[in-house]
Structure 1
Amino acid sequence: MTATVRSAWGDVPATQLRQFAERARNEIPVLAQDILREIRREYPGLPVILDESGEPMSLIGIRRALEHFVEHLATGLGSPHVHPRVFQEFGRGELLQGRSLDSLQAIYRLGVRLAWRRLAEIGQQAEIPAPAMYELAESGFQYLDGLVAESVRGYAEAAARQAGERLRLQRRLLDLLLTDHGGDVSMDELLAERAARIGWPVPQAVAVAVLVRPAREAVPPAVGPDVLLDMEREQPLMVVPDPDAAGRAELLRRATAGWTGAIGPPVPLADAAKSLRWAQSAITLMQRGLLPSGELLHCQEHTEALVLLPPEELIDDLGRRLLAPLDDCGASHGRRLAETLLAWLETRGGAPEIAARLSVHPQTVRYRLRQIRELWGDGIDDPDRRFELELVLRAKRLRGQ
């Protein structure tokens, strides 16, 4: 069986409590003014915001806080407090002014300290026992916690609205940025306007990255505020300003650890849609297993694959026509001839150099080169034909064929 904890405040006669509460209530107007005066002396930079009647909001808040607290003095300190909603407005104001809640909480503590000093004087006049006054002090600090909680709630709600609004404006900027403008100069002014609304410095160049979620609940990449990050898309996007700046690549690598993605080449701001297309193409090749995954891939480092692999049908059709001479050579021998042909096209070297590249005997290379000339005839000396053959053979090598 739980023992009931006696309350020293509850043991004070009701008439004595009513007398104390009445005196405290009469002191509220003057006490509120005194508290505000001291707060302004300690914090001279505190902005003065007036309500519709021209009265300072801070004075209204102090007065209401004192009134609500005093209401409970005669009924018992354990009664639940109703905290003035104006303290939520104070929290919202701190966010809108670009400040943290630290200074606001310090102001609250100052106000409670001054209020307690006056209540202690009234307690002596009303002959309230010391143990009861200790309970009153504890209740006062609990009340302070409630006021702080109201301000935190207001601050958090304002921050959420502000973040939501910024996200909406950022999405509008991204939609415009990633649209192909076709050289429309008038779009530059609109881009600058939308960028200014979210405080994004307009860069000269950008690179666009496409990300693949490792899991639905994955923590977003910890990019800096200058990187536009849209996590609401099925495949999140990043617009990275000045991607060639010193240290940028390393910062991106750390920020995207655990993510798979591709970042397009740096382009002028107006061409951001082009960078996005290359990144999307790289993601498609990753999903087919033709490019490495598991980290942020830079398209600039895989230009050959991005140029040769996407036009698959065209390359295959060209390959069927150009490599037709190998059709009757058998799969294994045809593959060896193709490897030798590609090595010759890439190096234009002699048999020893090609042999070293393929790890075979130079005499084997000479034999294969004679066969190649017999199969393709004089066409093998045509520069255009050699270029097309190299394209086809490089594409097959990239595919692992």
Structure 2
Amino acid sequence: MAQFNPPRLPDEAVAGLADQLPEVAERCVAAITAEVPGYAGALSGEPGELIEEAVQQALAGFLRLAGGPQGSDPSTPMRPALDGAYALGQGEARSGRSMDALLAAYRVGARVSWRELSTAAVDVGIDAATIARFAELVFAYIDALSAASVAGHSDELATEGRVRERRRERLAGELLAGREEEVLVTLAERAEWPPPLSLTAVLLPADAAASVMSTLGANCLRAADDWSDADLAVLLVPDLHGLARRRLLKTLRHTSAVVGPTRPWTHVTSSWQRAVKAHELGLATGQTPLDTEDHLADLVLQSDRDALQDLRIRALAPLTDLPPATADRLGETLRSWLLHQGRRDAVAADLHVHAQTVRYRMTQIRELFGDRLDDPSKVLDILIALQPKTVDNP
């Protein structure tokens, strides 16, 4: 560590300073506790004793550095202290204290250490020039220790973040698999994920998932890629009720996302299954999000495509022999007639034709369908058969 060029202190001076280390460490801990909010009341009892011991070890490393032969490699006495500082940073991260609190503690510790050590240095007869270089060494040493602690703190948070992310990804997979509630609760606790009242599954393009998640909060879950097509991602969004659902759809604008129904959080697999079905049926088109709650009839009607096609063939058999354009025109008129309960003017307005045109077409339709239009069960079949087709629908 070439940045260090420590002064060579006499052995008797080092011994005199070493005698002060327990008291210096105690005063450092007291000052940190009093001045740094994150440590208020946290360093009493055993934690305080451990920190005092760590401070003493760091200061002892400093004295070994200052008392070593002139020009010697400073890495030898510093390595244990740096390793200890790194471990301290890791421990502080696990304790939930921020890096700001840790750095503030170092600043307070540096001030108190220099005040106490400089006083002791004068007492043991160290000259002014040596004390000036001694000051440089103290603060350079503290900087090196704080940098090591910051590295330990950052690495620990990164490791914890990756572990938590993997655990939440596993939780998302088990939710989609429909696992038992007891298993899900245990996995949620391990993933440090507070269960919401409900979850909603969202399928969206994989390249949009990260930006969408950033707006949805830390408790939004993302399933592993093997739960969807290669170009899709699955998000599980907590508590999408009322305005929250509308805000989500606004966030998803300009994407072909599919939003499933909201379900109790342990039953979100049904939300995911419905979103997948809507995607497979091609209900989402273009760059507009699809809310499955607005397409329940489409989902019901198209859940069995073969059955729907058979129903169309049977219910619309009277139109089979007509030219396709004529059959489409009469089918459109009959659907509007049934939906508007036979109100001719409403049908005419819906189709943008004259009321007499509607009357003429309905005369043709009655001749073709006969008494089928008087049978409620057959009318239901006809209305279902006349449901507009989607792009992928047969």
Aligned match of 2:372: 379
- Residue in 1 aligned with 2:337? 344
Q: Does structure 2 retain, via aligned residues, the 8 Å contact 1:327–1:334?
A: yes
CA distance in structure 1 between the partners assigned to 2:86 and 2:254 by the alignment: 39
1:383–1:67 Cα change, 3 Å: farther
Alignment correspondent of 2:298: 305
Cα distance between partner residues in 2 of 1:204 and 1:217: 24
Q: 1:275 maps to what in 2?
A: 271
Q: Match of 1:279, as an amino acid?
A: A
Q: Give me the CA root mean square deviation.
A: 3.7
Superposed counterparts of 1:2-401, under 5 Å: 17-18=7-8, 20=9, 22=11, 25-42=14-31, 43=33, 45-47=41-43, 57-67=53-63, 69-70=65-66, 74-75=70-71, 82=79, 84-117=82-115, 120=118, 122=121, 125-129=125-129, 133=132, 137-138=135-136, 140-180=138-178, 187-214=180-207, 220-230=213-223, 232-233=225-226, 234=230, 235-244=232-241, 247-250=243-246, 252-253=248-249, 256=252, 260-285=256-281, 288=282, 290-294=283-287, 296-396=289-389
What is the CA distance between 1:173 and its match in structure 2? 2.8
Gaps of 5+ in 2: 34-39
Gapped runs of 5+ residues in structure 1? 1-6, 182-186
Change beyond 3 A, Cα 1:308–1:72: farther
Amino acid of the structure 2 residue aligned with 1:63: L
TM-score, normalised by the number of residues in structure 2: 0.80
Answer yes or no: is the 8 Å Cα contact 1:264–1:276 preserved in 2.
yes
1:388 CA drift (Å): 1.8
| Partner secondary structure for residue 85 of structure 1 | helix
Judged with a 3 Å threshold, the aligned counterparts in structure 2 of structure 1 residues 353 and 296 are, in CA distance, closer, same or farther, namely: closer
* Counterparts of 2:347 and 2:221, CA distance in 1: 49
Query: 1:17-42: per-residue Cα shift (whole Å, max 9, x none)?
Result: 43x26455324533432332112222
The separation in 1 between residues aligned to 2:250 and 2:58, in whole angstroms, is: 48
Query: Could you tell me whether the CA contact under 8 Å between 1:262 and 1:299 is conserved in 2?
Result: yes
Structure 2 residue matching 1:243: 3-state secondary structure: coil
TM-superposition CA deviations, 1:325-376 (whole Å, max 9, x none):
3232212222111110110121112322211110001111111111111222
Q: Deviations over 1:124-173 (max 9, x none)?
A: 9443538x92x654554443332222112211222223223323332343
Counterpart of 1:355, as a letter, is A
What is the deviation of 1:109?
1.6
**Using a 3 Å threshold, how does the CA distance of structure 1 residues 104 and 202 change in structure 2: closer, same or farther?**
closer
Superposition deviation, residue 88 in structure 1: 1.4
Q: Do 1:61 and 1:84's aligned partners in 2 also have CA atoms closer than 8 Å?
A: no
Alpha-carbon distance in 2 for matches of 1:259, 1:366: 44
Q: Which segment drifts farther, 76-85 or 260-269?
A: 76-85
> Does the CA contact (< 8 Å) of 2:213 and 2:220 recur in 1?
no
Q: Which structure shows the bigger proportion of residues in helix conformation?
A: 2
Q: 1:120 to 1:322 in 2, by over 3 A?
A: same
Partner AA of 1:238 in structure 2? L
Contact 1:351–1:366 (CA under 8 A) maintained in structure 2 = yes
Answer whether contact 1:170 1:228 (CA < 8 A) is retained.
Answer: yes
Q: Distance in 2 between matches of 1:255 and 1:146?
A: 45
Separation in 2, partners of 1:257, 1:35: 61
Does the CA contact (< 8 Å) of 2:164 and 2:191 recur in 1?
yes
Partner of 1:4: none
Deviates more, 1:367-376 or 1:172-181: 172-181
Letter of the structure 1 residue corresponding to residue 270 of structure 2: K
Please list the CA deviations of residues 165-218 of structure 1 after superposition, one character each: whole Å capped at 9, or x if unmatched. 32333234333322346xxxxx33333232233343334433222222136986
Cα offsets for 1:101-136 (capped at 9, x unmatched): 222212212222233345545379443538x92x65
Q: Which residue of 2 aligns with 1:184?
A: none
**What percent identity do the matched residue pairs reach?**
28
- Classify 1:221/1:120 alpha carbon distance in 2 versus 1 (closer, same or farther; 3 Å): closer
Letter in 2 for 1:34: E
- Is the 8 Å Cα contact of residues 62 and 141 (structure 2) preserved in structure 1? no
TM-score by length of 1: 0.78
Give the residue type in structure 1 aligned to 2:88: F
Aligned length: 376
- Are the counterparts in 2 of residues 243 and 249 from structure 1 also a CA contact under 8 Å? yes
Is this contact kept in 2: 1:214–1:259, CA < 8 A?
Answer: no
Give the SS at the match of 1:222: helix
Moved more, 344-353 or 197-206: 197-206
Secondary structure of residue in 1 paired with 2:161 = helix
Q: Which amino acid is the alignment partner of residue 127 of structure 2?
A: E
Contact persistence 2:201–2:237 (CA under 8 A): yes
* 69-78 or 308-317, which deviates more: 69-78
Paired letter, 1:171: E
SS of alignment partner, residue 129 of structure 1: helix
